[in-house]
A and B are shown apart, each in its own frame.
Chain A
């Protein structure tokens, strides 16, 4: 969890409640040390008990900590406020938490959620993967990060695969030292666009797909192409390349692809994407190649 940065959205698969608590405790400790606000949404363990267990381990803000730096809430109350799952309302409420953290002077907000609450609502289970893909909109601006804890003994395997693909990165086993998310998705503002860092494959496909839609829908100046910074992208599969095509074709002024290299350059060329009129190119060398 040390490798997390604001903007990340990680699916943490755990083995049972004890392992789940371990991940939550680590995420809290790292978040508090970074000076960010940390909100924990707990399900299996009641909030008071979470606080007590964190205290036992010495993971509490302490005297140096800022008031309100750590909040532990009931996941079921947060995610199912009216007794049912309403993704749009939930997104709004999370956005409110992010804004409040900024107003309170925190550099960022870390949301750590035990997702077992979803099991109490069959409708929520059906919408979970779509919701996890949508919520990337919240994280990609880099003011918040999310750690979603899923107990692989409690959730169905096929659902976990869908949920995995809705996150840019998944921690599938106890993370080795130096672990970092496989993919980072960030929205850039000047110039407006997208930065992908790491490796983009099937396991992040739905996250990238949801990001592409949001980028076009929220483009402040459709007369300019959307900048896509691929300099830090080490790998992209055919589906990711097709999603970049979709971005290029949906954006009124197309996209400008920047810094793509290695396998990413190869897959874009093989699929003919670099030939599209809506795709403007700036290769890694920095030389401008208008397509």
Chain B
């Protein structure tokens, strides 16, 4: 193995259509990593996790297994809290992961954030010695989502072998293609103009709204912390004022902040901040940790961030 290979980041997509193809594409990959002494982590939806666990037998003990539907429910937190967290926990070692962030139940609202996540893995892991395999179920997923996998993965694997994707593109450009306008909040949304003096009012308003919507106390706290960080960003970077909108949509609470700022760093909120780091940069990271989904639309004219929390 040459030095360049050892240090390069490898990010293949695995196209599979059934359990057999899934196991054929994942289990030998895991065993190869274990044989090479690489730390291995698997973050996939619970059903697939069970398949892999059974197939690995005793070797499952040697692999970090995480249910991606929990750990990666919000696609925005997968890079910091699943992928980079694992890589950072093994400094100086090449790590091997399986990350399956896109499953059949992902909604149309979630999908753009999933695609951005897949693209930005390439930016976040540039120069890092890691291999991240991303399985895609070709039988269950929207064909357009499979097409996008060709743009976000330099290498494609299927039952017949592997090949370079000719559609692979600059991760920041691909992520930007999913920087989409969000539909207007519904007319019944509660709104508030926010500034530096409004922070306690925002917290009270979110608490009351969440309690009325039947959110458990811990989730209410999460939402209050998240919206407070978003409001703080608006006050600090968004021209001092902005607008908060708050509403309930079926089983989820939605909070949106709109301001005149522009979120120029595509990796904002996706890079872990060590607890002993003295600087800032924790606000959006915390929002990603606490919320079930974060959607962003940002242009030079302004930014809208929408955070979703399920009841």
Binding site for B on A (CB under 8 A): 157-158, 161, 164-165, 170, 172, 182, 199, 201-203, 235, 237-239, 241-242, 245-246, 249, 262-263, 266-267, 270-273, 275-276, 278
B280 near A242 with CB under 8 A, answer yes
Residue B257 CB within 8 A of the other chain? no
A202 near B278 with CB under 8 A, answer no
Chain A interface mostly helix, strand, loop or mixed? Answer: helix
Nearest-neighbor residue (CB-CB) of B221 within chain A: A263
Additional pairs, 11, CB under 8 Å, beyond known A199-B203, A266-B218: A199-B200, A203-B196, A238-B229, A238-B280, A239-B283, A241-B282, A245-B276, A262-B221, A263-B224, A275-B275, A278-B276
Residue in contact with A202 in the complex, picked from B221, B236, B275, B282, CB distance below 8 Å? B236
In the assembled complex, the Cα of A237 lies from the Cα of B226 at a distance in Å of 9
A271 near B240 with CB under 8 A, answer no
The residues of B that contact A202 with a CB separation of less than 8 Å are 196, 199, 232, 235-236
* Contacts A/B (CB < 8 Å), 30 sampled: A161-B240, A170-B197, A182-B200, A201-B228, A202-B235, A203-B196, A203-B197, A203-B199, A235-B224, A235-B228, A237-B228, A237-B232, A238-B283, A238-B286, A239-B280, A242-B278, A242-B282, A245-B276, A245-B278, A249-B278, A262-B221, A263-B221, A263-B224, A266-B218, A267-B225, A270-B286, A270-B290, A272-B274, A273-B275, A278-B276
A201 near B232 with CB under 8 A, answer yes
Q: How far is the CB of B209 from chain A (nearest CB, A)?
A: 16
* Chain B stretch 237-294: residues in CB contact (< 8 A) with chain A: 240, 273-280, 282-283, 285-286, 289-290
Residue B222 CB within 8 A of the other chain? yes
In the assembled complex, the Cα of A242 lies from the Cα of B197 at a distance in Å of 21
The residues of A that contact B290 with a CB separation of less than 8 Å are 270
Nearest-neighbor residue (CB-CB) of A274 within chain B: B275
In the assembled complex, the Cα of A165 lies from the Cα of B195 at a distance in Å of 12
Nearest-neighbor residue (CB-CB) of B289 within chain A: A270
Q: A237-B228, A238-B282 are in contact. Are A272 and B240 (CB under 8 A)?
A: no
Q: How far is the CB of A89 from chain B (nearest CB, A)?
A: 30
Q: How far is the CB of A156 from chain B (nearest CB, A)?
A: 12
Q: A263-B225, A267-B225 are in contact. Are A239 and B196 (CB under 8 A)?
A: no
Residue in contact with A237 in the complex, picked from B229, B275, B285, CB distance below 8 Å? B229
Q: A182-B200, A270-B286, A270-B289 are in contact. Are A276 and B276 (CB under 8 A)?
A: yes
| Cross-chain pair count, CB within 8 angstroms | 79
Residue in contact with B275 in the complex, picked from A161, A245, A266, CB distance below 8 Å? A245
The residues of B that contact A272 with a CB separation of less than 8 Å are 274-275
- Those 5 A-B pairs whose CB atoms lie nearest each other, nearest first: A272-B275, A238-B282, A172-B197, A202-B232, A263-B221
In the assembled complex, the Cα of A22 lies from the Cα of B43 at a distance in Å of 62
Q: How far is the CB of A225 from chain B (nearest CB, A)?
A: 16
The residues of A that contact B280 with a CB separation of less than 8 Å are 238-239, 242
Chain B interface mostly helix, strand, loop or mixed? Answer: helix
Q: How far is the CB of A10 from chain B (nearest CB, A)?
A: 13
Q: How far is the CB of A95 from chain B (nearest CB, A)?
A: 29
Residue in contact with B282 in the complex, picked from A201, A235, A271, CB distance below 8 Å? A271
The residues of A that contact B225 with a CB separation of less than 8 Å are 237, 263, 266-267
Q: A202-B235, A237-B229, A263-B221 are in contact. Are A271 and B273 (CB under 8 A)?
A: yes
Nearest-neighbor residue (CB-CB) of B274 within chain A: A272
Q: How far is the CB of B220 from chain A (nearest CB, A)?
A: 9
Q: How far is the CB of A240 from chain B (nearest CB, A)?
A: 10
* Chain B stretch 203-230: residues in CB contact (< 8 A) with chain A: 203, 218, 221-222, 224-225, 228-229
* Chain B stretch 83-106: residues in CB contact (< 8 A) with chain A: none
A267 near B199 with CB under 8 A, answer no
In the assembled complex, the Cα of A245 lies from the Cα of B279 at a distance in Å of 10
Chain B 132-146 near chain A by CB (<8 Å), digits 1 or 0: 000000000000000
The residues of A that contact B240 with a CB separation of less than 8 Å are 157-158, 161
Q: How far is the CB of A281 from chain B (nearest CB, A)?
A: 14
The residues of B that contact A182 with a CB separation of less than 8 Å are 200
Nearest-neighbor residue (CB-CB) of B229 within chain A: A238
The residues of B that contact A262 with a CB separation of less than 8 Å are 221
The residues of A that contact B273 with a CB separation of less than 8 Å are 271
The residues of B that contact A267 with a CB separation of less than 8 Å are 225, 286
Nearest-neighbor residue (CB-CB) of A276 within chain B: B275
The residues of B that contact A237 with a CB separation of less than 8 Å are 225, 228-229, 232, 283
The residues of A that contact B224 with a CB separation of less than 8 Å are 235, 263
Residue in contact with A164 in the complex, picked from B196, B279, B285, CB distance below 8 Å? B196
The residues of A that contact B229 with a CB separation of less than 8 Å are 237-238
In the assembled complex, the Cα of A182 lies from the Cα of B200 at a distance in Å of 8
In the assembled complex, the Cα of A273 lies from the Cα of B278 at a distance in Å of 12
In the assembled complex, the Cα of A160 lies from the Cα of B274 at a distance in Å of 33
Q: How far is the CB of A218 from chain B (nearest CB, A)?
A: 20
B278 near A201 with CB under 8 A, answer no
Q: How far is the CB of A137 from chain B (nearest CB, A)?
A: 21
In the assembled complex, the Cα of A262 lies from the Cα of B228 at a distance in Å of 15
A235 near B203 with CB under 8 A, answer yes
Nearest-neighbor residue (CB-CB) of B217 within chain A: A262
In the assembled complex, the Cα of A42 lies from the Cα of B36 at a distance in Å of 76
The residues of A that contact B274 with a CB separation of less than 8 Å are 272
The residues of B that contact A172 with a CB separation of less than 8 Å are 197
The residues of A that contact B283 with a CB separation of less than 8 Å are 237-239
